[in-house]
Amino acid sequence: MSIERVAIIGLGLLGGSIGLAVREHAPGITTTGYDRDEGVRRVARERGLAAAVCDTAAEAVREADLVILCVPVGAMEAAAAELADLLPDGAIISDVGSSKQSVTEALARALPGKTIIPAHPVAGTEESGPEAGFASLFTNRWCILTPPEGTDEEALAALSDFWAKLGAMVEVMDAEHHDLVLAVTSHIPHLIAFTIVGTASDLEDVTRSEVIKYSAGGFRDFTRIAASDPVMWRDVFLNNKSAVLEMLGRFTEDLTALQRAIRSGDGDALHDLFSRTRAIRREVIKEGQDDGRPDFGREDHG
Ligand code: NAP
Protein backbone atom coordinates (compact mmCIF):
# COMPACT_ATOMS: atom_id res chain seq x y z
CA MET A 1 0.00 0.00 0.00
CA SER A 2 1.40 3.40 -0.84
CA ILE A 3 -0.06 6.83 -0.16
CA GLU A 4 -0.87 8.89 -3.24
CA ARG A 5 -3.66 11.27 -2.22
CA VAL A 6 -3.54 13.13 1.08
CA ALA A 7 -6.33 15.29 2.49
CA ILE A 8 -5.25 17.87 5.07
CA ILE A 9 -7.98 19.11 7.42
CA GLY A 10 -6.93 22.37 9.13
CA LEU A 11 -4.52 24.56 7.16
CA GLY A 12 -2.58 26.32 9.94
CA LEU A 13 1.08 25.88 10.86
CA LEU A 14 1.05 22.07 10.83
CA GLY A 15 -1.41 21.46 7.99
CA GLY A 16 0.22 24.11 5.80
CA SER A 17 3.69 22.72 6.48
CA ILE A 18 2.57 19.21 5.51
CA GLY A 19 1.19 20.55 2.22
CA LEU A 20 4.36 22.52 1.46
CA ALA A 21 6.61 19.61 2.48
CA VAL A 22 4.70 17.23 0.18
CA ARG A 23 5.05 19.69 -2.69
CA GLU A 24 8.79 19.98 -2.12
CA HIS A 25 9.80 16.48 -1.04
CA ALA A 26 7.12 14.15 -2.42
CA PRO A 27 5.79 15.69 -5.63
CA GLY A 28 4.25 12.35 -6.65
CA ILE A 29 1.65 12.74 -3.88
CA THR A 30 -1.46 14.86 -4.55
CA THR A 31 -2.81 17.06 -1.74
CA THR A 32 -6.24 18.47 -1.04
CA GLY A 33 -6.92 20.78 1.89
CA TYR A 34 -9.84 22.12 3.88
CA ASP A 35 -10.14 24.61 6.74
CA ARG A 36 -13.41 25.76 8.27
CA ASP A 37 -12.24 29.38 8.11
CA GLU A 38 -12.80 31.04 4.74
CA GLY A 39 -9.98 33.53 5.33
CA VAL A 40 -7.60 30.66 6.02
CA ARG A 41 -8.68 28.93 2.79
CA ARG A 42 -7.96 32.12 0.84
CA VAL A 43 -4.42 32.42 2.22
CA ALA A 44 -3.93 28.68 1.72
CA ARG A 45 -4.79 29.07 -1.97
CA GLU A 46 -2.46 32.05 -2.34
CA ARG A 47 0.40 30.16 -0.72
CA GLY A 48 -0.34 26.86 -2.44
CA LEU A 49 -0.58 24.97 0.87
CA ALA A 50 -2.43 22.18 -0.97
CA ALA A 51 -2.74 21.47 -4.68
CA ALA A 52 -6.51 21.95 -4.28
CA VAL A 53 -7.99 23.93 -1.38
CA CYS A 54 -11.63 22.84 -1.12
CA ASP A 55 -14.65 24.69 0.28
CA THR A 56 -16.01 21.58 1.99
CA ALA A 57 -14.47 18.72 3.93
CA ALA A 58 -16.47 16.31 1.73
CA GLU A 59 -14.70 17.51 -1.39
CA ALA A 60 -11.27 17.38 0.27
CA VAL A 61 -11.51 13.77 1.48
CA ARG A 62 -13.46 12.30 -1.46
CA GLU A 63 -10.53 10.44 -3.03
CA ALA A 64 -8.03 10.50 -0.19
CA ASP A 65 -6.08 7.45 0.90
CA LEU A 66 -4.72 9.38 3.90
CA VAL A 67 -6.62 12.05 5.85
CA ILE A 68 -4.60 14.08 8.38
CA LEU A 69 -6.44 16.14 10.97
CA CYS A 70 -4.36 19.24 11.75
CA VAL A 71 -6.73 21.03 14.14
CA PRO A 72 -6.35 21.81 17.87
CA VAL A 73 -6.56 18.71 20.07
CA GLY A 74 -9.92 19.81 21.51
CA ALA A 75 -11.40 20.09 17.98
CA MET A 76 -10.32 16.63 16.78
CA GLU A 77 -13.54 14.79 17.64
CA ALA A 78 -15.81 17.34 15.94
CA ALA A 79 -13.55 17.54 12.87
CA ALA A 80 -13.46 13.72 12.61
CA ALA A 81 -17.24 13.38 13.14
CA GLU A 82 -17.84 15.69 10.18
CA LEU A 83 -16.03 13.15 7.99
CA ALA A 84 -17.77 10.03 9.28
CA ASP A 85 -19.97 9.40 6.24
CA LEU A 86 -17.55 10.81 3.69
CA LEU A 87 -14.40 8.74 3.99
CA PRO A 88 -13.44 6.43 1.13
CA ASP A 89 -13.14 2.74 2.07
CA GLY A 90 -9.66 1.85 3.30
CA ALA A 91 -8.52 5.43 3.90
CA ILE A 92 -6.09 5.89 6.78
CA ILE A 93 -7.10 8.56 9.30
CA SER A 94 -4.29 10.26 11.16
CA ASP A 95 -3.64 13.53 12.97
CA VAL A 96 -0.80 15.69 14.32
CA GLY A 97 -2.15 16.43 17.81
CA SER A 98 0.32 17.12 20.61
CA SER A 99 -1.32 14.68 23.03
CA LYS A 100 -2.27 11.18 22.00
CA GLN A 101 -4.37 9.20 24.49
CA SER A 102 -7.41 11.47 24.45
CA VAL A 103 -7.14 12.06 20.68
CA THR A 104 -6.99 8.31 20.03
CA GLU A 105 -10.18 7.84 22.08
CA ALA A 106 -11.89 10.81 20.40
CA LEU A 107 -11.09 9.55 16.89
CA ALA A 108 -12.27 6.03 17.74
CA ARG A 109 -15.58 7.46 19.04
CA ALA A 110 -16.09 9.63 15.97
CA LEU A 111 -14.99 7.08 13.36
CA PRO A 112 -15.76 3.55 14.59
CA GLY A 113 -14.34 0.78 12.40
CA LYS A 114 -11.97 3.05 10.45
CA THR A 115 -8.20 2.64 10.15
CA ILE A 116 -6.98 5.20 12.67
CA ILE A 117 -3.24 5.76 13.28
CA PRO A 118 -2.61 8.82 15.45
CA ALA A 119 0.68 10.67 15.00
CA HIS A 120 2.61 13.58 16.45
CA PRO A 121 5.40 15.28 14.53
CA VAL A 122 7.60 16.76 17.27
CA ALA A 123 8.22 19.92 15.29
CA GLY A 124 6.71 23.36 15.52
CA THR A 125 7.22 27.01 16.20
CA GLU A 126 5.46 29.65 18.29
CA GLU A 127 3.63 30.88 15.17
CA SER A 128 0.25 29.63 14.01
CA GLY A 129 -2.12 30.13 11.09
CA PRO A 130 -1.86 29.66 7.32
CA GLU A 131 1.05 32.10 6.92
CA ALA A 132 3.21 30.19 9.39
CA GLY A 133 3.90 26.88 7.61
CA PHE A 134 7.13 26.03 5.78
CA ALA A 135 8.36 22.99 3.85
CA SER A 136 11.33 22.09 6.02
CA LEU A 137 9.45 22.01 9.36
CA PHE A 138 9.77 18.22 9.66
CA THR A 139 13.33 17.81 8.34
CA ASN A 140 15.41 15.87 10.85
CA ARG A 141 12.60 15.98 13.43
CA TRP A 142 10.91 12.98 15.03
CA CYS A 143 7.40 11.96 14.13
CA ILE A 144 5.89 9.64 16.75
CA LEU A 145 3.19 7.22 15.59
CA THR A 146 0.92 5.69 18.25
CA PRO A 147 -0.97 2.85 16.52
CA PRO A 148 -3.73 1.32 18.65
CA GLU A 149 -3.50 -2.44 19.23
CA GLY A 150 -4.37 -4.47 16.16
CA THR A 151 -3.43 -1.73 13.65
CA ASP A 152 -2.93 -3.03 10.14
CA GLU A 153 0.86 -3.38 9.58
CA GLU A 154 0.66 -2.35 5.96
CA ALA A 155 -1.16 0.87 6.82
CA LEU A 156 1.39 1.60 9.55
CA ALA A 157 4.26 1.06 7.10
CA ALA A 158 2.60 3.34 4.54
CA LEU A 159 2.15 6.14 7.11
CA SER A 160 5.77 5.74 8.32
CA ASP A 161 6.95 5.95 4.73
CA PHE A 162 4.88 9.11 4.17
CA TRP A 163 6.51 10.91 7.12
CA ALA A 164 9.98 9.70 6.13
CA LYS A 165 9.41 11.24 2.68
CA LEU A 166 8.76 14.60 4.38
CA GLY A 167 12.18 14.34 6.03
CA ALA A 168 11.07 13.12 9.47
CA MET A 169 12.54 10.29 11.53
CA VAL A 170 9.76 7.94 12.60
CA GLU A 171 9.30 6.28 16.01
CA VAL A 172 6.45 4.05 17.15
CA MET A 173 5.25 3.97 20.78
CA ASP A 174 2.04 3.58 22.71
CA ALA A 175 -0.12 6.63 23.31
CA GLU A 176 0.23 6.53 27.10
CA HIS A 177 4.03 6.53 26.93
CA HIS A 178 3.96 9.31 24.31
CA ASP A 179 1.93 11.49 26.65
CA LEU A 180 4.36 10.98 29.53
CA VAL A 181 7.45 11.68 27.40
CA LEU A 182 5.90 14.78 25.85
CA ALA A 183 4.67 16.03 29.22
CA VAL A 184 8.29 16.36 30.34
CA THR A 185 9.91 17.39 27.03
CA SER A 186 7.27 19.82 25.80
CA HIS A 187 4.22 20.42 27.96
CA ILE A 188 5.95 21.22 31.29
CA PRO A 189 8.58 23.47 29.60
CA HIS A 190 5.70 25.40 28.04
CA LEU A 191 3.92 25.61 31.40
CA ILE A 192 7.08 26.94 33.03
CA ALA A 193 7.48 29.56 30.28
CA PHE A 194 3.82 30.63 30.60
CA THR A 195 4.33 30.91 34.37
CA ILE A 196 7.58 32.89 34.42
CA VAL A 197 6.42 35.32 31.75
CA GLY A 198 3.13 35.77 33.62
CA THR A 199 4.92 36.22 36.97
CA ALA A 200 7.26 38.85 35.51
CA SER A 201 4.39 40.81 34.02
CA ASP A 202 2.56 40.83 37.38
CA LEU A 203 5.48 42.19 39.43
CA GLU A 204 4.98 45.48 41.18
CA ASP A 205 8.50 46.44 42.27
CA VAL A 206 10.14 45.69 38.90
CA THR A 207 8.42 47.55 36.10
CA ARG A 208 7.20 45.85 32.95
CA SER A 209 9.47 48.10 30.88
CA GLU A 210 12.47 46.91 32.92
CA VAL A 211 11.49 43.28 32.35
CA ILE A 212 11.45 43.89 28.61
CA LYS A 213 14.53 46.14 28.56
CA TYR A 214 16.76 43.61 30.35
CA SER A 215 15.18 40.51 28.78
CA ALA A 216 18.42 39.40 27.10
CA GLY A 217 19.47 38.11 30.53
CA GLY A 218 17.39 34.98 29.85
CA PHE A 219 13.77 36.08 30.02
CA ARG A 220 13.44 36.57 26.25
CA ASP A 221 14.08 32.87 25.59
CA PHE A 222 11.03 32.04 27.71
CA THR A 223 8.94 34.65 25.87
CA ARG A 224 9.37 32.75 22.59
CA ILE A 225 7.72 29.66 24.06
CA ALA A 226 5.16 31.69 26.01
CA ALA A 227 4.04 33.32 22.73
CA SER A 228 2.67 29.98 21.47
CA ASP A 229 -0.93 29.62 20.37
CA PRO A 230 -3.34 29.96 23.37
CA VAL A 231 -6.02 27.64 21.93
CA MET A 232 -3.56 24.89 21.08
CA TRP A 233 -1.96 24.99 24.52
CA ARG A 234 -5.21 25.26 26.46
CA ASP A 235 -6.27 22.04 24.71
CA VAL A 236 -2.96 20.28 25.34
CA PHE A 237 -3.21 20.82 29.11
CA LEU A 238 -6.87 19.87 29.28
CA ASN A 239 -6.18 16.70 27.28
CA ASN A 240 -2.91 15.49 28.81
CA LYS A 241 -4.02 16.20 32.34
CA SER A 242 -2.75 13.16 34.24
CA ALA A 243 0.74 12.99 32.67
CA VAL A 244 1.20 16.75 33.09
CA LEU A 245 0.07 16.64 36.73
CA GLU A 246 2.38 13.66 37.40
CA MET A 247 5.41 15.45 35.91
CA LEU A 248 4.46 18.73 37.55
CA GLY A 249 4.51 16.95 40.93
CA ARG A 250 8.07 15.80 40.32
CA PHE A 251 9.11 19.21 39.05
CA THR A 252 7.68 20.89 42.15
CA GLU A 253 9.65 18.52 44.40
CA ASP A 254 12.87 19.30 42.53
CA LEU A 255 12.15 23.01 42.72
CA THR A 256 11.64 22.74 46.47
CA ALA A 257 14.99 20.90 46.79
CA LEU A 258 16.69 23.73 44.89
CA GLN A 259 14.99 26.29 47.10
CA ARG A 260 16.38 24.47 50.12
CA ALA A 261 19.89 24.33 48.59
CA ILE A 262 19.85 28.07 47.97
CA ARG A 263 18.52 28.84 51.45
CA SER A 264 21.08 26.64 53.18
CA GLY A 265 23.98 27.78 50.96
CA ASP A 266 24.56 24.31 49.51
CA GLY A 267 26.73 25.37 46.55
CA ASP A 268 27.72 21.77 45.75
CA ALA A 269 24.09 20.78 45.13
CA LEU A 270 23.61 23.74 42.80
CA HIS A 271 26.89 23.11 40.97
CA ASP A 272 26.10 19.40 40.52
CA LEU A 273 22.70 20.10 39.02
CA PHE A 274 23.92 22.85 36.71
CA SER A 275 26.75 20.57 35.48
CA ARG A 276 24.24 17.82 34.65
CA THR A 277 21.95 20.24 32.80
CA ARG A 278 24.84 21.69 30.79
CA ALA A 279 25.70 18.15 29.63
CA ILE A 280 22.09 17.65 28.48
CA ARG A 281 22.26 20.79 26.33
CA ARG A 282 25.37 19.36 24.65
CA GLU A 283 23.54 16.09 23.92
CA VAL A 284 20.61 17.97 22.34
CA ILE A 285 23.05 19.73 20.00
CA LYS A 286 24.96 16.51 19.24
CA GLU A 287 21.66 14.86 18.22
CA GLY A 288 21.03 17.72 15.75
CA GLN A 289 17.94 18.92 17.65
CA ASP A 290 19.15 22.53 18.01
CA ASP A 291 21.55 25.12 16.67
CA GLY A 292 24.90 24.58 18.41
CA ARG A 293 26.08 28.18 18.10
CA PRO A 294 26.16 30.19 21.33
CA ASP A 295 22.87 31.97 22.11
CA PHE A 296 21.12 30.08 19.25
CA GLY A 297 23.40 31.85 16.75
CA ARG A 298 21.97 35.31 17.48
CA GLU A 299 24.22 38.14 16.30
CA ASP A 300 23.59 40.41 19.31
CA HIS A 301 24.88 38.64 22.39
CA GLY A 302 22.88 40.11 25.26
P1 NAP B 1 -3.20 26.45 13.82
O2 NAP B 1 -2.07 27.08 13.09
O3 NAP B 1 -4.05 27.28 14.73
O4 NAP B 1 -4.16 25.72 12.74
C5 NAP B 1 -5.30 25.00 13.06
C6 NAP B 1 -6.36 25.30 12.00
O7 NAP B 1 -7.42 24.34 12.11
C8 NAP B 1 -7.00 26.68 12.15
O9 NAP B 1 -7.04 27.35 10.89
C10 NAP B 1 -8.41 26.34 12.64
O11 NAP B 1 -9.39 27.29 12.26
C12 NAP B 1 -8.64 25.04 11.93
N13 NAP B 1 -9.77 24.26 12.46
C14 NAP B 1 -10.20 24.16 13.74
N15 NAP B 1 -11.24 23.32 13.83
C16 NAP B 1 -11.48 22.87 12.57
C17 NAP B 1 -12.44 21.98 11.99
N18 NAP B 1 -13.35 21.37 12.76
N19 NAP B 1 -12.38 21.74 10.66
C20 NAP B 1 -11.45 22.35 9.89
N21 NAP B 1 -10.52 23.22 10.36
C22 NAP B 1 -10.55 23.48 11.69
O23 NAP B 1 -2.67 25.22 14.71
P24 NAP B 1 -1.33 24.32 14.52
O25 NAP B 1 -0.20 24.96 15.26
O26 NAP B 1 -1.18 23.97 13.09
O27 NAP B 1 -1.77 23.05 15.39
C28 NAP B 1 -2.59 22.03 14.83
C29 NAP B 1 -2.37 20.77 15.61
O30 NAP B 1 -0.98 20.42 15.57
C31 NAP B 1 -2.76 20.83 17.09
O32 NAP B 1 -3.45 19.66 17.44
C33 NAP B 1 -1.42 20.88 17.82
O34 NAP B 1 -1.50 20.26 19.09
C35 NAP B 1 -0.51 20.10 16.87
N36 NAP B 1 0.92 20.46 16.90
C37 NAP B 1 1.29 21.77 16.96
C38 NAP B 1 2.63 22.10 17.00
C39 NAP B 1 3.07 23.55 17.08
O40 NAP B 1 4.22 23.83 17.45
N41 NAP B 1 2.22 24.49 16.76
C42 NAP B 1 3.62 21.08 16.93
C43 NAP B 1 3.20 19.74 16.81
C44 NAP B 1 1.84 19.44 16.79
P45 NAP B 1 -9.91 28.36 13.40
O46 NAP B 1 -8.79 29.32 13.56
O47 NAP B 1 -11.15 28.92 12.75
O48 NAP B 1 -10.21 27.60 14.65
129 alpha carbon to ligand 1 midpoint, in Å?
A: 8
- Whether residue 169 is contained in a domain is answered as yes
Inside any domain, residue 98: yes
Closest by CA to 85, choosing from 64, 110, 103, 55, is 110
Does 164 share its domain with 22?
A: yes
Same domain (yes/no): 163, 235: no
Mean pLDDT per segment of 10 residues, for the chain of length 302 residues?
A: 95 98 97 98 98 98 98 98 95 98 98 97 96 98 97 98 98 98 97 94 83 90 95 98 96 97 98 96 92 84 52
How high is the pLDDT of residue 300? Answer: 64
Q: Among 107, 140, 173, where does a domain finish?
A: 173
Same domain, residue pair 159 and 188: no
Decide if 276 is inside a domain. no
User: What is the domain count for the chain?
Assistant: 2
Whether residue 21 is found in the same domain as residue 159? yes
Residue 301 confidence (pLDDT): 55
Compute, in angstroms, the gap from residue 139 CA to the centroid of ligand 1: 20
Nearest protein CA to atom 39 of ligand 1, as residue: 124
Report how far ligand 1's centroid is from the alpha carbon of 127 (Å): 11
User: Does 118 lie in the same domain as 21?
Assistant: yes
For 80, list phi and psi in degrees, rounded to 5.
-70, -40
What are the pocket residues of ligand 1 if the criterion is a CB atom closer than 6 Å to any ligand atom?
9-15, 35-37, 40, 70-73, 75, 78-79, 96-98, 121, 124-125, 128-129, 229, 232, 236
- 32 and 84 part of one domain: yes
- Which tens digits make up the pLDDT trace of 27-59? 999 999 999 999 999 999 999 999 999 999 999
DSSP element (H, E) containing 34: strand 30-34
pTM of the model: 0.95
74 lies in some domain = yes
Residue 134 belongs to domain spanning = 5-173
Which one of 173, 197, 219 terminates a domain? Answer: 173
Task: Give domain status of residue 115, yes or no.
Answer: yes
Nearest Cα neighbor of 189 from 231, 157, 147, 237 is: 237
Q: State the pLDDT at residue 202.
A: 86
Q: Say how many Å lie between the CA of residue 247 and the centre of ligand 1.
A: 25
Domain containing residue 46: CATH number: 3.40.50.720
Identify the pLDDT of residue 207.
84
Q: Are residues 234 and 205 in the same domain?
A: yes
16 vs 127: CA distance, rounded Å: 12
> Which residues neighbour 18 within 8 Å (Cβ) at sequence distance 6 or greater?
6, 8, 31, 68, 70, 96, 133, 138, 166
* Same domain membership, residue 193 and residue 155: no
Work out which ligand 1 atom sits closest to the CA atom of 9. Answer: 20
Residue 153: the pLDDT is 97
Which of 8, 9, 11, 14 gets mutated to test ligand 1 (max ligand atoms within 8 A of its CB)?
A: 14
Domain boundary among 152, 173, 194: 173
Residue nearest to atom 45 of ligand 1 (CA): 37
203 shares a domain with 161: no
* Domain presence at residue 60: yes
The rounded Å distance from CA 101 to ligand 1 centre is 18
Whole-angstrom distance, CA of residue 283 vs CA of residue 287: 6
Give domain status of residue 282, yes or no.
no
Cα dihedral across residues 20, 58, 164, 288: positive or negative: positive
Ligand 1 atom 47, closest CA: 37
62 and 113 together in one domain: yes
283 in any annotated domain: no
Do 225 and 109 belong to one domain?
no
Ligand 1 centre to CA of 283 (Å) is 31
60 and 30 in one domain? yes
